[in-house]
Structure 1
Amino acid sequence: MGTSDHGRRAYIGSFTAAGGLGITTAALHPDTGALTPLHSTDAVPNPSYLAPSPDGRYLYAVSETPDGAAAAFALTSRGPELLAPAVPVDGADPTHLTLADGRLVTANYSSGSLSTLPVRADGTLAGPATVLAHQGSGPRSDRQEGPHAHAVLPDPSGRWLLSVDLGTDSVRSCALATGGALTVYAETRLRPGSGPRHLAFHPDGDRAYVINELDPTVTVCRWDPGHGALTPLGETRLIPDEARALAADTFPSELVVSLDGRFAWAANRGHDSLSVLSLDGGTATLVTTVPCGGHWPRDLALHPDGRHLYAANERSGDVTWFTVDPATGIPARGGSVEAPAASCVVFV
Structure 2
Amino acid sequence: MRRHSFSFLLLSPLLTSSHGANLFVSHYSGTVYTLTLSNNSDGAYSLTLNTSLYIGGQPSWLTWDSSTRTLYIPDETEYFGTPNAWSVAAATNGALSLTGKATAIGGGVANTLYGNHQYLATAHYDLSQITTFKLPLTSSSTPLQKIALNMTGPGTVPNRQNAAHPHEVLLDPTGAFLLVPDLGADQIRIYQIGSTGLLTACPSYFELGGTGPRHGAFSANGSILYVANELSNSVHTFGMAYNNSRITLKKLQSLTTFPKNATAPTGTKVAEVHVKDNFIYAANRNDLSFSPSDSIASFSLNSVGLMAFMNITSSGGWHPRTFDINKAGDMIAIGDQTSANVAIVKRNITTGELGPQLASLRVSTVGTA
Same structural fold, with TM-score higher than 0.5 when normalized by the shorter chain: yes
1:69 matched to which residue of 2?
A: 82
Work out the CA distance in 2 between the residues paired with 1:199 and 1:126.
32
Shift of 1:3: 7.0
CA distance in 2, matches of 1:4, 1:342: 31
CA shift, 1:10, in A, is 1.1
Task: State the Cα distance separating 1:318 from its structure 2 match.
Answer: 0.2
Q: Distance in 2 between matches of 1:306 and 1:295?
A: 23
Aligned to 1:42: 54
Supply the AA of the counterpart residue of 1:235: S
Q: Which runs of structure 1 show a deviation greater than 4 angstroms over 4 or more consecutive aligned residues?
A: 2-8, 30-34, 123-126
Q: How does 1:243-262 map to 2 (within 5 A)?
A: 244=263, 246=265, 248-258=266-276, 260=277, 262=278
Q: Percent identity?
A: 28
Q: Does 1:26 align with 2:35?
A: yes
Are the counterparts in 1 of residues 45 and 359 from structure 2 also a CA contact under 8 Å?
Answer: no
Calculate the aligned-residue CA RMSD, in Å. 2.4
Distance of 1:269 and 1:39 partners within structure 2: 28
Normalised by the size of structure 2, how large is the TM-score? 0.83
The answer to whether the Cα contact below 8 Å between 2:160 and 2:184 also exists between their aligned partners in 1 is: yes
The Cα shift of 1:302 comes to: 0.8
Counterpart AA for 1:278: S
Inter-CA distance 325–198: structure 2 relative to 1 (3 Å threshold): same
Corresponding position of 1:234? 253
Partner of 2:299: 277
Pick from 9, 12, 27: which aligns with 1:14?
27
Does the residue aligned with 1:228 lie in a helix, a strand or coil? strand
- Structure 2, gaps ≥5 residues long: 1-14, 288-293
Q: Secondary structure at the match of 1:64?
A: coil
Output aligned runs, 1:189-208, within 5 Å.
189-208=206-225
AA in 2 matched with 1:98: T
Contact 2:16–2:22 under 8 Å retained in 1 = no
| CA distance in 2: counterparts of 1:3 and 1:282, whole angstroms | 35
Secondary structure at the counterpart of residue 74 of structure 2 = strand
Within 2, Cα distance between the matches of 1:39 and 1:244? 42
1:133 is the counterpart of 2:148 = yes
* Deviation readout 1:198-253 (Å, 9 max, x if unpaired): 0000011000100000111000001224532222112011023596361x311011
Q: Note the C-alpha offset of 1:54.
A: 3.3
Partner Cα distance (2:28, 2:286) in 1: 19
**Which structure carries more relative contact order (alpha carbon 8 Å, separation 6+)?**
1
Structure 1 residue 68 displacement after superposition: 2.4
- The one-letter amino acid paired with 1:133 is A
1:146/1:62 Cα in 2 relative to 1: closer, same or farther (>3 Å)? same
Corresponding residue of 2:65: 53
TM-score, scaled relative to structure 1: 0.88
